[in-house]
């Protein structure tokens, strides 16, 4: 025999769980946001390579992402970058972006422009 108040209790508990989990279920998208910008980003006119494209992909990404680069700024035309988008966590994205950037430094045998550092992450 079913008790009439049992279904009301179950519904009340489910409502409480939904209210408590609400903020986690409605997580805000990170797409279009720069995130934690640690240094400025500069892409000279006529620059070759994929760093500007990688940065735009980073900004457009909806999940945890990071963009890393060697020293970059006005007057610096040779730099290497790395980006990872939509990774499980911000820390994992940062580690992978720096790793990609360092792999680029090794591939292109670049030693004189410094190491890779995180430029922005979210």
Give residue-wise pLDDT tens across range 7-51. 555 445 555 544 444 444 446 788 989 999 999 889 988 888 899
**What is the overall mean pLDDT for the chain?**
83
Q: pLDDT at position 77, please?
A: 77
Give residue-wise pLDDT tens across range 60-103. 999 999 999 998 888 787 899 999 999 999 999 999 999 999 99
Q: What is the DSSP letter of 116?
A: -
CA 117 – CA 104 distance, rounded (Å): 13
Q: Does residue 115 or residue 5 have the better pLDDT?
A: 115
Give the pairing of strands 64-69 and 117-121: antiparallel
Cα of 55 vs its chain's centroid, Å = 10
| pLDDT at residue 122 is higher than 90 | yes
Q: pLDDT at position 74, please?
A: 83
Report which secondary-structure segment, H or E, holds 103. helix 90-107
Q: pLDDT at position 112, please?
A: 81
The answer to whether 68 and 101 are in contact (CB under 8 A) is yes
């Amino acid at each position: 025999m079913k008790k009439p108040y049992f279904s009301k209790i179950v519904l009340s508990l489910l409502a409480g769980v939904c209210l408590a989990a609400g903020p986690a279920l409605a997580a805000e998208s990170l797409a279009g946001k720069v995130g934690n910008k640690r240094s400025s980003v500069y892409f000279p006119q006529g620059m070759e390579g994929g760093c500007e494209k990688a940065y735009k992909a980073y900004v457009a990404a909806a999940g945890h992402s990071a963009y890393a680069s060697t020293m970059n700024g006005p007057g610096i035309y040779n730099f290497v970058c790395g980006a990872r988008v939509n990774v499980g966590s911000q820390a994992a994205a940062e580690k992978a972006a720096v790793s990609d950037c360092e792999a680029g430094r090794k591939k292109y045998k670049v030693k004189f422009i410094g190491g890779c550092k995180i430029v922005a992450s979210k």
